[in-house]
Amino acid sequence: MGKSISQATLNNCRKNLNSNDAAKVSINAATRVNVRKLSMNWDAFRQIDHTFSNTVSGQMKASHQKRSGRCWGFAGLNLLRIYLGRKYKLKNFEFSQNYFMFFDKLEKANYFLENIIETSEKDVSSRLVSHLLYSPVQDGGQWDMFVNLLNKYGAVPKSVMAESFHSSNSSQMNKLLTRKLRGYALDLRTAHSKGSKLSELRKLKDEMLSTIFQMLCIMLGTPPEKFDWSIRDKKDKFHRFTDLTPKSFYNKHVGTVLDDFVCLINDPRSQTDYNKTYTVDYLGNVIDGNIIRYLNLESDELRKYSIKSIKADDPVWFGCDVGKYFSREFGVMDLDLFNFDTFFGTDFPMTKSERLDYGDSVMTHAMVFTGVDIKNRKPVKWRVENSWGEDHGKKGYDIMSDSWFDEFMYEVVIHKKHLPAKIVKQYKSKPIALPPWDPMGSLAH
């Protein structure tokens, strides 16, 4: 009854526990074994089936982001390699995720320092400045950030700029870059307080970026300016392309126009409306690039256009909350896979909207839909290309049940040719700005 936990409250808790035989069994089991294994619904597990009525062509060996948060970039490059593989009839191919990461870090550093200059008049303890300082060069990102990097810097094959230790294990690199950038934020704000002009702050910023560039080269390697590319296709025919730049390689050999894709979200919260376009303030990487842009639609519409895309042989980039009701070992996302309610003797009743409002669910991972299983004209499950290597699911490809799609899927990217003209038009309208800490920006954090 009071503010603190009383002895009477503790006695009542013990009494309730001692009278609950099911809880005693759960205690004995969970003391030595992971509760996810103990609560797994084996009837649901028996129904795992990696066959699908509709799949896209040109799928390749699963990639591996290792100990880094580059899922959004891996997913984007995995989508593009399907088209490149079809064009040249390749058995397998990977773009350099390290090259992509290098310029993402450099652009995020510039984006951060520009935001520090813009907010120099605000107190350092303000919520906005505190938010900016929290994680200047995180690994995460959003679809529009991927588009910005490819449009500006192009891409290169993995053979041209291979993984480094720090691209695959990014934690220490991020800590050092963050420490340096926070120090630079202090320097810029101090210079502003002493009366430095904007041009002087920008000159100081350019000197700072030169140091960041050097740090990135030390940890990731120096990105190539020109290179040759040699391949053998599925018929073992040899091809060599010489004197390429990252931009010419992308434009000539990939050629996908990323600005033709539309980003759709399902955000059922009361403060956001369906059929409205949104952005997130202070979220991005490339200054003067595309802003973050989402069109909010009901879940059924995300489902409908994803199916339409897959049936047309186009894979779908998507963002979701992968940590919920997911078995990494078996590669399955399914609401029925775990009996947590029964095991703990309590339910977890929040709706999708409530989970977003109360911080229980956000976008945490980006992957690619490469198939869907349709039965009686309704989707049953989805084939998912992950970027966690081949040691889970079916050689790195996972399954998402359609019921899971409704609860923990938040974002899909669809080519405009699969969408009605009115949706494309609404997507291009002036977006409503969400605050920098809104959950719809979580994938980038």
Residues catalogued as catalytic: 71, 365, 386
Beta bridge partners of 320: 365, 409
What contacts 39, CB < 8 A, 6 or more positions away?
Answer: 338, 339, 340, 342, 343
Q: Strands 378-385 and 397-401, how do they pair?
A: antiparallel
Nearest to 318 by CA among 419, 410, 389, 408: 410
Residue 441 CB: number of other CB atoms within 10 A? 24
The dihedrals phi and psi of 228, each to the nearest 5 degrees, come to -110, 155
Residue 361 CB: number of other CB atoms within 10 A? 22
Burial label for 12, CB within 10 Å (0-12, 13-18, 19+), is exposed
Answer yes or no: are the C-beta atoms of 76 and 319 closer than 8 Å.
no
Answer yes or no: are the C-beta atoms of 433 and 281 closer than 8 Å.
yes
* Sign of CA pseudo-dihedral 157, 158, 162, 168: positive
Nearest to 396 by CA among 91, 66, 76: 66
SS3 40: strand
SS3 95: strand
Residue 15 in tokens = 């009494």
SS3 257: coil
Nearest to 258 by CA among 366, 89, 380, 416: 416
Beta bridge partners of 295: 264, 277
